[in-house]
A and B are shown apart, each in its own frame.
Chain A
């Protein structure tokens, strides 16, 4: 794992977990007020995006280190991202959408950094 690869995988995982959290009643209500639930389409979309993000994070790790070590590293990254998200959801529940957006945009420069760091110079 290189620094850009690790950070990119972590940001992707963080983004994915926050989407999955936003698809849940409890955390959705924390953002939008008591008793409000996400519409079924929104819930589906959030879940789909979250799943995609998790797979992307895992795929990046497998790409970097092969199936055996990559999967182990991928699970480690998912664990770390989920722990950080639990803290974020607990302390700043209302800022979750803003954070997810920031992570998503943050992934772009990281991706550029990662691609340029692996590209043969």
Chain B
């Protein structure tokens, strides 16, 4: 090796980071929001805010759901009943129609035959008046499925970006000579030095999170990028399928239908037995395979306990006699526990609101780490070209492209997120294809910001976009006053809740304030620069010394 280890690692760090940073910004933003997926979904369905306070027992909820499914989809292949929990109030029921009933339009894939509806746990009737929205689920999917792309492609893109990020993190740690000496160091108003300090602080202080989230993110996609380990280890037991059965016990109890009709046993009674089996622990999901068939089975899954693992044990019952057939995932294998803990760490379903907020903040820290890293590259490169630019040359193509992409991603993404939320409040509730339109508007807002950034990647544009993001975020709680009955005045001042909605509004205000602060700092910087230019060469003599200190 001609260069030292640190230099070559610095090269690796720079290019691994720069190549994928704009996708990583999207992944960090979407992923951070996903920690509050249920809360965002609730926020985006104001019609549910009133009913958030009426609790129903799980047995009652299951009874109503089963009655509804019996009437709505008696011939289905599978039923799914997702029970309400502390974080989501609405009960979701879903079913996979039998291929015969679905007809030609959706022949083979079960996924295309899947339908789901939200029903009121108290009455068992569909919540028709709830606006159609993908809510937090869209942001969650966005962070690994992207959008407008086939899912497989998108996941490959995200996997590769995550791999690059892992390399960037490890090489970054090696390159960073003064991790401990500069642990608390942030030097303000020092140009390039300040960006480096900010990049170091957001990276080093949240390093446990960054390493964990990148690695476990890759684990969630491991069947795509590294299938060989599982294939080899499980060769004798039948390959990947055996592994899946071990890791996802909820899929147990799938048998072929007999084609003979038989009445389904009482689901609430099964639920009660499952509750007793788990010492009264609440249930999460009821799946019925082949309802109304002689070979029906019911799989009841327990809610996750407060452990790291994402594994949920399940009980399998005979759907006709009610006999218990199996208990899946009660004593999971070491493999299943390991994967469960790693995936669980990524999803953070175990986290209470406090810890969830910490995860969210660490995610934002990741956003800032990527943003400051990308800006640092641009600042450094501009510094290198400074002489030529002062002499009248134009900035290089690569520099201009990176600067414009930085602007469109870093300042544009908040605009896209805010646009999504504004669309949720402003689009007519009865509109057809409403959920999809919200998503289109997310991308339209982002595209607008990105195109403007490409046309004019200037400091003024930064100020404009950061300011626009700030106004949009700060305006949302205000918009709630006019479009909902659950604005901060009701949820917080009158203390009527739901608290999740108040929390969302407060978070929007906080994010908006940060953007406003960034815009105003930028304005001050611009003014200072303008004054320097007006005062002319007298001040400029001070520069070489400062420049020396920076470099």
Taking Cβ atoms with an 8 Å cutoff, the residues of A that contact B are: 1, 3, 6, 17, 20-21, 24, 26-27, 65-66, 68-69, 72-73, 75-77, 79-80, 82-83, 85-87, 89-91
In the complex the two chains form, is A72's CB within 8 Å of B345's CB? yes
Specify which chain A residues have a CB less than 8 angstroms from the CB of B345 in the assembled complex. 72
Specify which chain A residues have a CB less than 8 angstroms from the CB of B183 in the assembled complex. 20-21, 24, 82
Per a CB cutoff under 8 Å, which of B184, B208, B350, B362 touches A21?
Answer: B184
C-alpha gap A79/B186 in the complex (Å):
16
Distance in angstroms from A36 CB to nearest chain B CB is: 17
In the complex the two chains form, is A69's CB within 8 Å of B205's CB? no
Can you name 11 A-B residue pairings with CB atoms under 8 Å? A3-B354, A65-B306, A66-B306, A73-B354, A75-B209, A77-B358, A79-B208, A83-B206, A86-B185, A86-B186, A91-B188
- As a 0/1 sequence over residues 180 to 215 of chain B, the CB contacts with chain A under 8 angstroms (1 = contact) are 010111111000000000000110011011000000
In the complex the two chains form, is B355's CB within 8 Å of A83's CB? no
Specify which chain A residues have a CB less than 8 angstroms from the CB of B350 in the assembled complex. 69
Q: Which residue of B lies closest to A90 (CB)?
A: B186
Per a CB cutoff under 8 Å, which of A17, A68, A79, A85 touches B358?
Answer: A79
C-alpha gap A17/B184 in the complex (Å):
9
Distance in angstroms from A14 CB to nearest chain B CB is: 12
Query: What 6 new A-B contacts, CB under 8 Å, besides A66-B306, A72-B355, A79-B365?
Result: A1-B354, A20-B183, A24-B181, A65-B306, A83-B202, A83-B205
Specify which chain B residues have a CB less than 8 angstroms from the CB of A24 in the assembled complex. 181, 183-184
Specify which chain A residues have a CB less than 8 angstroms from the CB of B355 in the assembled complex. 1, 69, 72-73, 76
The 8 A-B pairs at the shortest CB distance, nearest first, are namely: A76-B358, A1-B354, A90-B186, A82-B205, A75-B208, A68-B308, A6-B354, A73-B355
C-alpha gap A6/B355 in the complex (Å):
9
C-alpha gap A76/B209 in the complex (Å):
8
Within 8 A of A (CB), among B243-278: none
Per a CB cutoff under 8 Å, which of B187, B306, B361 touches A90?
Answer: B187
In the complex the two chains form, is B352's CB within 8 Å of A1's CB? yes
Q: Which residue of B lies closest to A5 (CB)?
A: B354
In the complex the two chains form, is B209's CB within 8 Å of A79's CB? yes
Q: Given the interface contacts A69-B355, A72-B355, A73-B354, does A79 sit within 8 Å of B205 by beta carbon? A: yes
In the complex the two chains form, is A89's CB within 8 Å of B184's CB? yes
Interface size band for B: 20 to 34
C-alpha gap A73/B185 in the complex (Å):
24
Specify which chain A residues have a CB less than 8 angstroms from the CB of B351 in the assembled complex. 69, 72-73
Q: Given the interface contacts A68-B307, A69-B308, A69-B350, does A79 sit within 8 Å of B184 by beta carbon? A: no
- As a 0/1 sequence over residues 47 to 78 of chain B, the CB contacts with chain A under 8 angstroms (1 = contact) are 00000000000000000000000000000000
Per a CB cutoff under 8 Å, which of A1, A6, A27, A68 touches B184?
Answer: A27
Specify which chain A residues have a CB less than 8 angstroms from the CB of B184 in the assembled complex. 17, 21, 24, 27, 82, 85-86, 89
In the complex the two chains form, is A69's CB within 8 Å of B306's CB? yes
Q: Which residue of A lies closest to B308 (CB)?
A: A68
Secondary structure of the A contact surface, majority rule: helix
Q: Given the interface contacts A1-B355, A6-B354, A76-B359, does A86 sit within 8 Å of B205 by beta carbon? A: yes
**B188, B306, B358, B361 pick with most chain A CB within 10 angstroms:** B358
C-alpha gap A3/B184 in the complex (Å):
27
Specify which chain A residues have a CB less than 8 angstroms from the CB of B359 in the assembled complex. 76
Specify which chain A residues have a CB less than 8 angstroms from the CB of B362 in the assembled complex. 76, 79
C-alpha gap A72/B362 in the complex (Å):
12
Q: Which residue of A lies closest to B358 (CB)?
A: A76
Q: Which residue of B lies closest to A25 (CB)?
A: B181
Q: Which residue of A lies closest to B341 (CB)?
A: A68
Distance in angstroms from A28 CB to nearest chain B CB is: 12
C-alpha gap A79/B359 in the complex (Å):
10
Within 8 A of A (CB), among B143-175: none
Distance in angstroms from B227 CB to nearest chain A CB is: 28
C-alpha gap A56/B431 in the complex (Å):
55
C-alpha gap A90/B181 in the complex (Å):
15
Q: Which residue of A lies closest to B344 (CB)?
A: A68
Q: Given the interface contacts A68-B307, A73-B354, A79-B358, does A90 sit within 8 Å of B188 by beta carbon? A: yes
C-alpha gap A3/B354 in the complex (Å):
8
Distance in angstroms from A25 CB to nearest chain B CB is: 9
Specify which chain B residues have a CB less than 8 angstroms from the CB of A69 in the assembled complex. 306-308, 350-351, 355
**A3, A17, A79, A91 pick with most chain B CB within 10 angstroms:** A79
- As a 0/1 sequence over residues 94 to 126 of chain B, the CB contacts with chain A under 8 angstroms (1 = contact) are 000000000000000000000000000000000
Q: Given the interface contacts A72-B355, A75-B209, A79-B209, does A86 sit within 8 Å of B201 by beta carbon? A: yes
Specify which chain A residues have a CB less than 8 angstroms from the CB of B306 in the assembled complex. 65-66, 69
Distance in angstroms from B398 CB to nearest chain A CB is: 32
C-alpha gap A91/B205 in the complex (Å):
18
C-alpha gap A24/B184 in the complex (Å):
10
C-alpha gap A98/B230 in the complex (Å):
56
Q: Given the interface contacts A72-B345, A85-B184, A89-B186, does A79 sit within 8 Å of B354 by beta carbon? A: no
Specify which chain A residues have a CB less than 8 angstroms from the CB of B209 in the assembled complex. 75-76, 79
Specify which chain A residues have a CB less than 8 angstroms from the CB of B206 in the assembled complex. 79, 83
C-alpha gap A85/B204 in the complex (Å):
14
C-alpha gap A77/B208 in the complex (Å):
12
Specify which chain A residues have a CB less than 8 angstroms from the CB of B307 in the assembled complex. 68-69
C-alpha gap A69/B306 in the complex (Å):
8
In the complex the two chains form, is A72's CB within 8 Å of B308's CB? yes
Per a CB cutoff under 8 Å, which of A65, A80, A85, A87 touches B361?
Answer: A80
C-alpha gap A11/B345 in the complex (Å):
25
